[in-house]
Amino acid sequence: MGTLTARGAEVEQEKRRLTGLADCHLHFEGSLPPDVVEALARRAGDALGEPGTLSARRASVRDSAAFLALFADVCRLFRSPGDYAAAAARLSRTLAADGVAYAEIYVSPEICQRIGVDPEAALEAVDAGFASAAADGCDCRILLDTVRHWGPEAAGRVLDLHERRPRNRVVGFGMGGEEGAFPAAAFAGCYARARSVGLKTSVHAGEWLGPDSLRDALDALRPDRIDHGIAAAQDPHLLERLAEEVVPLFVAPTGNVATGAVTSFSAHPLPRLLEAGVAVALSADDPLLFSTSTAGEYAAAAAMGLDDDALLAMARRSWRGAFGLSPAERERGAKGVRWEEVES
Ligand SMILES: [Zn+2]
């Protein structure tokens, strides 16, 4: 007897789940436990703090604009570096409880700047919060995020921050936001600079726009991996290229359905990407806003008809695409993925 997730994927009653997972495509504010966000909202006198409001808002997201608006509303609730440190520690422990052993999480210094919190202090606080929870939480690393619709100058400021004070926990640089806001080529210099200062790179592309957007990102930015990239399924040449060049796609099915990038789970191109030999890993992206979790994304993939071998291969691919680990650590992590019984 199946049951429906919040977004309509019919999944088996969960008797077991994958654990020992890596998730390398999460966004800090979009991944927090709901009670953390509701407490920040109550303190701010924000409507998101009223009972049921957060659930209703996230259930009503149907497109990228509504998603980005809700994400921005959550971001605005932070007031001080201390808020970031406390939230980071909670996030680390929540991920560990959800079976995630290793995570790479986008943190956006420009968002901190815009809400009036010193970005350097906020980054320091996130770093310290992750460190404080490392012993009993998830091993969390930071991806410096730039927001595409704020342009290449904002991206340059993010890299300035890293150059002034590199941190061990900062392992990569990437870009999200409105996919069509600027051509990928406008950020080519930023990506080259990120590489020159030792950061691996990723980019959100081929999610809300088609194959051309993904191709432009690959050509102009030469990223080590792609966040989403599902539009490749519309273009056999791109599929071939991704498979040949082994560019991993970190795909988030529940978010793709929630933001309208695909119309339903049954229409999701994940099985097609795998059939074409593309290196696909699963990620929860913004689990707070999509009412999902990393393990939940594997349950959604199972509901699309993918078997245990396919799920395990994607889970191992996630470890192998990690920016912050040595080859030996990646292999150890990949071998540690396993099924566990879920207590009822
Ligand atoms: Zn994302």
Residues near ligand 1 ion, CB 5 Å cutoff? 227, 285
Give the pLDDT mean for 93-118.
97
CA distance 262 to 300: 14
Confidence (pLDDT) at 1? 35
| Bridge partners, residue 176, by sequence | 147
The yes-or-no answer on residue 341 being catalytic is no
pLDDT at 262 (0 to 100)? 94
pLDDT (mean) for 94-112: 97
- For residue 61, report the distance from its CA to the centre of ligand 1, in Å: 15
Please give the DSSP secondary-structure letter assigned to residue 293.
Answer: -
Angle 44-123-334 from CA coordinates, rounded to 5°: 110
Rounded to the nearest angstrom, the distance between the alpha carbon of 8 and the centre of ligand 1 is 21
Q: How far apart are CA 98 and CA 218, in angstroms?
A: 33
pLDDT in tens, 212-254: 999 999 999 999 999 999 999 999 999 999 999 999 999 999 9
106 CA from centroid of ligand 1 (Å): 8
CA–centroid distance, residue 26 to ligand 1 (Å):
6
Which ranges constitute the DSSP H helices of the chain? Answer: 34-44, 53-59, 64-75, 81-97, 109-115, 119-133, 151-164, 188-196, 211-221, 236-245, 253-258, 270-275, 287-290, 294-303, 308-320, 327-335
Domains of the chain: 17-29+78-337 (3.20.20.140)
Q: Rounded mean pLDDT of the chain?
A: 94
pLDDT of 20 > 60? The answer is: yes
pLDDT digits (tens, 9 = 90+) for 324-338: 999 999 999 999 999
Identify the active-site residue in 29, 104, 207, 297: 207
What pLDDT, on a 0 to 100 scale, did the predictor assign at position 343? Answer: 78
What's the gap in Å between 286 CA and the centre of ligand 1?
Answer: 7
From the CA of 344, how far away is ligand 1's center (Å)? 31
For the cut 60, the answer to whether the pLDDT of residue 304 exceeds it is yes
DSSP letter at 137 equals S
223 within 8 A of 201, measured Cβ to Cβ: yes
Q: How do strand 16-19 and strand 100-107 relate by DSSP bridges? A: unpaired
The CA distance from 249 to 228, in Å, is 6
Q: Distance, CA 284 to ligand 1 centroid (Å)?
A: 8
Q: Angle at the Cα of 104 (from 192 to 37), degrees rounded to 5?
A: 120
